[in-house]
Chain A
Amino acid sequence: MTQERISAQIAELHEAYLREGLTRHHSARDFAPYRSSALRHPKQPLVTLDDPEAAELTGPVFGVSDVTALDNDLTRQHVGEPLGERITVTGRVLDRAGRPVRGQLVEVWQANASGRYAHQRDDHPAPLDPNFTGVGRCLTDDEGRYAFTTIKPGAYPWRNHRNAWRPAHIHFSLFGTAFAQRLVTQMYFPNDPLFPFDPIYNAVLDPKARERLIASYDHDLSVPEWSLGYRWDIVLDGPSAGLFEQEEHE
């Protein structure tokens, strides 16, 4: 399978989405250019439960015992310092009404500066970094803020099709106040030349929604003589905001 064929499929599906005229924010589960989606998406429609008593309208909580103070600094997990461009990534976790998600768990994982994961099944012939694992976690503060210090991950090849390369990204896992707000996603870096070629990034059919996956470079977040700063706010989807109004008044 060539990149040309994959790119043509992506263009076709993006055009079909725009013709349809409906807004869909999330990755399409059935997205042929991302080949391993073929057998892993349901063909039956989802069943909507609008039950105010549903268990999924509540969710797990995490506390100070679930993280340690250094968990959000991916550059300090080993004896030496990792190779690569040191960055800080920060932003706020909000619900769709714009309210901060407080005290919730944010987890990240990523490849090293060479584009290699510290995972046994990653056989990309790029060097492992003995000083970088690429895993972090933290709890959001009262404003919903999270912050990580890490190194900028490298792009890497994968076997979706010939000459397939993933744009540099950091995986994020997020919890809201409801299990139904759960989100696993990927944060990208601005102006990556690989965006048009990547079936995973482009599985988000809506062009504006795709932009929401890209962090912005923020010079005010860069620390002199130390690190470059990126800002990325995250908005959790979930059952209609009205269901949570009561909490706001507590």
Chain B
Amino acid sequence: MNPTPSQTVGPFYGYALPFPGGGDVALGGIVLHGYVYDGAGEPVPDALLETWQPTPGGPLPGSMRRDPVTGAIAGRHGVDFTGWGRVSTDASGRWVLRTADTGLPYISICVFARGLGHHLYTRAYLRDEVDARIPPGRRSTVLAAEERPGVYRFDIRLQGEGETVFLEFG
């Protein structure tokens, strides 16, 4: 069957998709943070990032648990690792993810934004084990920099100099 086409997430997803604690996949682990930049080098203040880290036991629900009384977000309960995070960039183009290092060399990232008609996948490699199919000259764009123990910086450049390597899956 032919797929349903993608369309941009637009500017007004902010009251629908992000949720408090969306970037707190696990506490007491590592921090992955950075900025999203456009082709003019300007920060993108309305990008939405989703992150995915599989776990050996298979994925678990509970990323956006709700209080059945009020319908409000109750948050993850902190016992199960759901592997999935969702954060929007702030007015300065900044995003922060708190998660666990699961042993996999990378954290998978999906980028949505106004102006972007079809989301983009990339990976933040925590270790220098970048997939050999990524051209050597561009590997540094997917390698997170460990600023201090457990704190990794990963900027995403949608276009232009130092453009992040974006991926598709065969």
A binding-site residues for B, Cβ under 8 Å? 25-29, 31, 34, 36-44, 46-51, 54-68, 70-71, 77, 94, 96-98, 107-109, 111, 117-119, 121-122, 133-135, 171, 173, 178-180, 182-186, 200-201, 203-204, 206, 208-210, 212-213, 234-240
Q: A41-B116, A107-B17 are in contact. Are A185 and B4 (CB under 8 A)?
A: yes
- Residue count of chain B within 8 Å CB distance of chain A: 70
Known: A42-B163, A135-B16. A184 touches B112 (CB 8 A): yes
In the complex, which residues 82-137 of chain B have their Cβ closer than 8 Å to any Cβ of chain A? 82-84, 104, 106, 108, 110, 112-121, 131, 133-135
The answer for the CA separation of A61 and B165 in the assembled complex, in Å, is 27
Given pairs A40-B44, A122-B12, 18 additional interface contacts (CB within 8 A): A29-B120, A38-B39, A38-B115, A39-B158, A44-B163, A54-B169, A57-B169, A58-B59, A59-B52, A59-B84, A68-B68, A117-B12, A118-B15, A119-B11, A119-B12, A121-B11, A171-B16, A179-B52
A42 to B6 CA separation, bound complex (whole angstroms): 16
Chain A residues whose CB sits within 8 angstroms of the CB of B44 once the complex forms? 40
The residues of A that contact B20 with a CB separation of less than 8 Å are: none
Whether, in the assembled complex, B10 has its beta carbon less than 8 Å from a beta carbon of chain A, the answer is yes
A65 x B117 contact (CB < 8 A): no
Q: Once the chains bind, are A109 and B15 in contact (CB under 8 Å)?
A: yes
Specify the chain B residue showing the minimal Cβ separation from A95. Answer: B1
Judging by beta carbons under 8 Å apart, are A109 and B61 in contact? Answer: no
A55 near B121 with CB under 8 A, answer: no
Interchain nearest-CB distance for A215 vs B (Å):
11
CB distance from B53 to the nearest CB of A (A): 7
CB of B167 closer than 8 Å to a CB of A: yes
CB distance from B37 to the nearest CB of A (A): 9
* Given A119-B14, A182-B119, residue A40 in contact with residue B2 (CB < 8 A): no
In the complex the two chains form, is B64's CB within 8 Å of A47's CB? Answer: no
Q: With A and B bound together, what is the CA distance between A25 and B5 in angstroms? A: 5
| A47–B134 CB distance below 8 A | yes
Q: A27-B118, A96-B1 are in contact. Are A49 and B170 (CB under 8 A)?
A: yes
* A37 contacts B169, C-beta separation under 8 Å: no
Asked if residues B110 and A182 are in contact (CB atoms below 8 Å), the reply is yes
- A47 & B166 in contact (Cβ 8 Å cutoff): yes
Q: How far is the CA of A210 from the CA of B4 in the complex (A)?
A: 9
How far, in angstroms, from A203 to B58 measured CA to CA in the complex?
37
CB distance from B79 to the nearest CB of A (A): 12
| Contact of B82 with A60 in the complex, beta carbons under 8 Å | yes
Pick the most buried of B53, B61, B131: most chain A CB atoms within 10 A of its CB.
Answer: B61
Q: Which of A29, A96, A234, A239 contacts B116 (CB 8 A)?
A: A29
A147 CB to nearest B CB, Å = 17
Residues of B1-43 whose CB lies within 8 A of A: 1-17, 38-40, 42
**16 A–B contacts, CB within 8 A, in A order:** A29-B120, A40-B113, A40-B115, A42-B120, A42-B166, A58-B52, A65-B62, A66-B62, A119-B15, A173-B16, A184-B6, A185-B7, A186-B7, A200-B117, A204-B5, A239-B169
Smallest CB–CB gap between A227 and chain B, Å? 22
Contacts of B106 in A (CB 8 A): 55
B143: shortest Cβ distance to chain A, in Å?
14
Contact B12 A94 (CB under 8 A): no
B77: nearest chain-A partner, CB-CB: A65
Residues in A neighbouring B167, C-beta threshold 8 A = 46-49, 56
